[in-house]
Amino acid sequence: MTDDLDGMYDTFKALLDAFPPSEAVKRLEQFGISPSIVEQIREQHEQQTIRIRELEEPHAVVLDGRDTWYTGPQAKDKCWPAIVDLLRKDGWPEEPAIRSLDDSSTRVVSLLNHPKEKAFSTRGLVAGYVQSGKTTNFTSVMAKAADRGYKLFIVMAGIHNGLRRQTQARLVQQLVEPNPSRWSQLTGLDKDFTPQENPASYFGRSNRTHVLCVVKKNATVLRKLAGWLEKASDYLQDCPALIIDDEADQATVATRSINPLILEIMSHLPRSAYVGYTASPFANLLIDPSAQDLYPKDFVVNLPKPAGHFGTEVLFGRYALDGEDPEQVDDGYDMIRSVPEADVPAVRPETRADVEGFEPVITDTLHRAVSYFWLVTAARRVRGTGNPHNTMLIHTSVNTAVHNSFKKPLEHLRDRFMRSLSSADADFLSRLRDLWDEETGRVPAGDFGETKVQFEELLPELPGVLDSCRIIMDNSSSEDRLDYENGPVVAVAVGGNTLSRGLTLEGLSVSYFVRSVSAYDTLLQMGRWFGFRNGYADLPRIWMTDELAEWFRHLATVETEMRRDIEIYMSESETPLTFAVRLRTHPALRVTAAAKMRDAVVAASSYGGKRVQTHYFHTNADWLSNNITAARDLVASAAANAVRAEERAAEGRYVFRNVPHDIVIDFLSSYKFHEKSPENDADLIIQYIRKRVTAAESLRRWNVAIVGNPKGEDFTFAPGVCVGRNNRARLELPNPTPDFVDIKTLMSRRDAAVDLAGEVGNLNEKSIMDARRKQLPDTGLLVLYPIDKVSEPGPEKKLRAPLNAEEHIIGVGLVFPEPRHGDSTVESYISADLSRVRIEDEDFSLLDGEDA
């Protein structure tokens, strides 16, 4: 029936387009079609119209509101339908997977120039997620562009042979093999680019094939390609080219060799579109937009997050962004295991001088991680579903000598494990059972639609697992490589950079990661554990230090905020040349390498209309006592200077109204925020308040509130001002950092309305800020929270542990009014510098594709 309906829809589409809905329905009924079928045809037409309209207004930042020329595949297409057929054979569901891929790839193609334009030089950026199908997306973009007339396709596939080879194989499988007569290849599976003798045979008018070239970003290779294209220039005037730069932040940005060569290649292609793909676009967003470089001046696109993808936020959780209810932001899965800092010197040299002769120790945590990997592999064999490969990643150092030093200790561990298994050592088997039951108890299989494999079921599989497990040193000095093309693999892979970007570790279930890193993009790309875990989504585990886990949680917040910025600003008709995406900074991490940030500027970020709250605290008594004193001094001053005080004892709340701003500044000067909280910088907050007071005469008066728990034990701020202590458990870490807790959430939405009169609707962020704008347009709110030093977690808080501080904690929340007369900004973000960008009016727009 569906096929018949589709056929009717195609037959009567012109009629539906030509007449108003009511008239079209009458005419359809005149053909003898039943009213119910007519209604289905009409609904299908409406849905198709809505979908086309959405694609014509793609979710991207677009230069000059350029009209969309591409609205989706057509019946005559060959390359895209071939990809769809392959994906269906691989088990991809039509909804949502194939539909989402269709829509997102159409969105990208719609932002390219029409291949028939006389000349163009487009620069765009596609931000995906690590291990989330970026290759499939750009392959689909290439297929659709080929179906519309793009001829030359150059794919720059990272800097390593492994990724280039992997990408070549994928493109040949999905583009060339289904339509061999339509494609010519300049590169092969084991052959990077070498100049061809006769360019005319590829680009002459008599050759109607598409030309595929997959190269790694290597100066020698790119120089050969640039020289060959220069010699072929007579044939390239009518050759629309699409350049895909995979891992576009690696080697492309701020390099003396690769970056100029990419620009040279583009200069030989009068009709070219450059599209960078990366999951870590930080460096690309900080390129100087005024230079003749690869800043994505034409568009930036967020790829949708695929269903079932394990990303940064899913695994590590994140912090609430402004406008979000902190209680609704997930803590992440309970899949992160802590490596004590004391273990790190045993698996990674502390200095360069220690590299030579380094011998790693199989610590308790590494032993546990490897043992768990073998158990997982056995359990997956019992299930018999999903990816046939099983891989564990050990990444402790970038140094190849360190990688190689792990081989013998890991082989000895495997041999000892096998001997204990063969002898049926009772203590050994008991420890294995305890490990399996503990891990499967912390992450129930049922939460992921799976059934727990019992220890008795997996035990018979373990000998085969050990027999087939290889210990592989995969690095630039080793000839040993992960090869997934010759049957199922079971491997413990020790490596560094060759395993830290682009390359997919098939069936990755366990990671042991203590690599020291210093930048967002490096950290994110090393997360090879991100991706899809179909059939074993309950089993992945990551062992790392608590500091690294916190960095990943911060990075998840940065990612989400960056993507939200792109989505919000595109809806306001901004472009990459009028709006620079802001990137939140961190006190211990760089956004990217220093050379890639040389043209960045500190971005203006305002506290106006935002909530700020503390969630990091020290636990030592001296630090906490200082904050208790600061809070008690504030309450005493507020009580003495407030215009009015309100006591709501039944709710555990006090509000002191119209407190002078200098009292709040005095408090912020003496209260200590944790140094890991860049958004809680007392100096910046004080600077912001003073600027607002001076420039706009707002924030002169504040409401100071106390929020307690009526059921908690008493905490006294001042004579007659006493509330019950709140309970805020900390995020659980098996080896918590001394003198540090992270409670993640302090302030609820209800608390942000504590000083408002009357009901505030649904207490969502918008209704609260609307009410504050009406009632208290120039008044700030400071909220104090006394937190019990023990704070046992409730039974529903699976990833929480008792606070166990030496003294009670004072949490602070701040709510700033939206600015009415301009705003005074603070500095906590960086962005590209748009100050030198010259935007011409429409009457002076560039002609004939001249570059800006």
CB neighbours of 568 closer than 8 A, spacing ≥ 6? none
631: which 2 tokens? 């809070």
CA neighbor of 108 nearest in space, from 80, 76, 78 = 80
What pLDDT score was predicted for residue 840? Answer: 38
Q: What is the pLDDT of residue 17?
A: 56
pLDDT for position 57 = 38
Residues contacting residue 661 through CB under 8 Å, at least 6 positions apart = 689, 693, 699, 700, 701, 702, 780
Residue ranges for the chain with pLDDT beneath 50: 1-2, 52-59, 62-66, 569, 839-852
Report helix, strand or coil for 264: helix
DSSP letter for each residue of 170-202: HHIIIIITTSGGGEEESSBTTB-----S-THHH
Residues 535, 388 contacting (CB under 8 angstroms): no
> Whole-model pTM?
0.71
Please report, for residues 95, 96, 123, 136, the alpha-carbon distance to residue 102 in angstroms, rounded to integers and kept in the order given. Answer: 11, 10, 22, 11
Tokens 């044939």 label which residue?
A: 235
E strand segments, 114-240: 120-127, 152-157, 183-185, 210-215
pLDDT of residue 33: 74
pLDDT at 841: 33
The per-residue pLDDT for 503 is 64
